[in-house]
Chain A
């Protein structure tokens, strides 16, 4: 039985970089050969969620949302547009524990394994830590360093903050960093006052956003005080109020995210280790570059 991975992401009508992480991770996974067929679909670009499943050849489709948190998109928009008979109760989630549920969409003759978003997967914790390592250039970063996991936050959906808090708590439990905080753009505690929340001389900010865009490149750097005008870029680190602040950019661009996508599919039953391209048994389609 053939299997496909469908990465679903927001995309944008205005910002061409919004879909870049989904494309990059799809390419990485495709190159790894661990899934025969890898496709992407977008809310704001093409193929649309609405047409997504008809771009897939396989009978079994693992749908992984490249979203940070559970909520409006993962529980309403994506299932509705994919024509899945989904209720939030199908996930039986506390806001960060969605795993997967299986459906038969109404417009294609396929089985869809609908997964929770990448942002709430446990493996995401490691990606955040890895991001702190790459931005500081220190694979042992942690001792005496403050780590801020930064989310958008919104008072309209409590799950938005839960995902950020979840990973901050998990990293704190590892006792690797001197201090760990969850901070937000649009709710308390706010990232604007980042230095108020830390004693450590060095503070690493990792924004839990999928794509680099206005929020991660302009809003947060300006709010934090990294720069007066985000369009001109910012220094890493930047000295603010006696602290060195290291800023990472959107976590969604981290190459390790491709592994989280695969973990989501594997948790839902995908046979992601069965297709090593180095075994020499490529079929005609792959020989053609598929």
Chain B
């Protein structure tokens, strides 16, 4: 796409009419009879150059809208499509303009993007955490450089490092105010890298998905071992990987990859707006750990537990897996993962070496084989 160069929307449209314009209800052409201009409400034919300008200025909303999308919006396909999606550009223009005058909001993961029209129909964007929708700017740290997003995304509200940018733990308390279209795209990509490009590819039907078997086959170095996890035993282990890593509670991307191109996984891929096109580095690194663990043969241990103790161990695993331990109240001993209950369990059932019920982990020392 090449944009007009004039700074006046009507003049730019007149220049572009030579090549023909058909955009959001606006048509502009030029032929041997002169200029033609059409909007849903009106049509003008055989216009002189100056009459064309007068007519175009009489339908400012359409002309400015065309001008924004072809002069001010980034002209790469993915950014353009994203910005159109952000303001729901499928809606008819007059209705959309009315809505944009007050500001219209759309969510992208945990981001809230508010679009409004400014001078000459140019869009301006505000960006913040969805949970901060109703928070005053005064209570937020306001940023103007979109590249700051890369640094904001690094830690969660507790200051803990977020290696996965699409984890649902985006920190609160910041805002980007009054961004232009290119800057909005940069900020969004700063929070959720590569999501716009892959989302656009998916909409165009050309998302290049790399399934599990292909992704592990290309690993080398310390990750090459993951390929050995497939031992003709089906894909249940990959279901477990996806259940562990790819749920909405852990990642806001929607998993599009499967075991291979004929074998879908049996667990849901999540509901995220942006697609995940292949197992990520966290999944591969975790899979390396599980590959090593799954190389071990199972063995039989014997433990004496009360029914409550067994149930408590199960509750503990659940609490850690669901990231719930911070929510358990100090004195809530009804919860199996309560710290006092856990310490009591350890005091009662673990020996000095940390063995459950005094049963050693190593097979050679175990008397249960």
Contact = CB atoms under 8 A, between A and B. Distances in A.
Interface of A: 12-16, 23, 26-27, 30, 40, 43-48, 50-52, 54-55, 57, 72, 76-77, 80, 107, 284-285, 287-290
A14 B161 contact: yes
Closest 8 CB pairs of A and B: A288-B180, A47-B193, A51-B194, A289-B183, A54-B197, A288-B182, A285-B182, A16-B161
A289 B145 contact: yes
Contacts of B277: 51
Contacts of A50: 210, 278
11 contacts: A13-B282, A13-B285, A27-B147, A47-B193, A51-B193, A54-B197, A55-B197, A57-B74, A284-B180, A288-B183, A290-B146
Contacts of B220: 76-77, 80
B281 interface: yes
Contact of B186 (A15, A23, A45, A290): A290
Nearest to B159: A16
Contact of B154 (A14, A16, A52, A288): A16
B250 to A, nearest CB: 14
Contacts of A290: 74, 146, 182-183, 185-186
B150 interface: yes
Contacts of B320: none
A288 B72 CA distance: 9
A54 B163 contact: no
Interface in B68-97: 71-72, 74, 76, 78-79
Given A288-B181, A288-B183, A16 B194 contact: no
Contacts of A48: 194, 280-281
Contact of A289 (B151, B182, B189, B194): B182
Contacts of A30: 147
A17 to B, nearest CB: 9
B165 interface: yes
A55 B201 CA distance: 12
A46 B144 contact: no
Given A43-B281, A284-B72, A51 B179 contact: no
Nearest to B286: A13
Contacts of A80: 218, 220
A289 B144 contact: yes
Contacts of A52: 194
Most buried by A among B180, B181, B189, B198: B180
A81 B93 CA distance: 43
Contacts of A284: 71-72, 180, 182
A127 B151 CA distance: 26
A16 B164 CA distance: 11
B45 interface: no
Q: Which of A47, A285, A287 has the most CB of B within 10 A?
A: A285
A30 B277 CA distance: 29
Contacts of B163: 12-14, 44-45
Contacts of A23: 150-151
Given A48-B194, A51-B194, 13 more contacts: A13-B281, A46-B280, A47-B193, A51-B193, A51-B198, A54-B194, A55-B194, A57-B76, A80-B220, A288-B180, A288-B183, A290-B185, A290-B186
Contacts of B151: 23
B181 A16 contact: no
Given A12-B163, A284-B71, A47 B150 contact: no
A23 B71 CA distance: 30
A289 B179 contact: yes
B221 interface: yes
A72 B197 contact: no
A164 B112 CA distance: 48
Most chain B CB atoms below 10 A, which of A16, A26, A76:
A16
A288 B147 contact: no
A39 B161 CA distance: 21
B314 interface: no
A57 B72 CA distance: 16
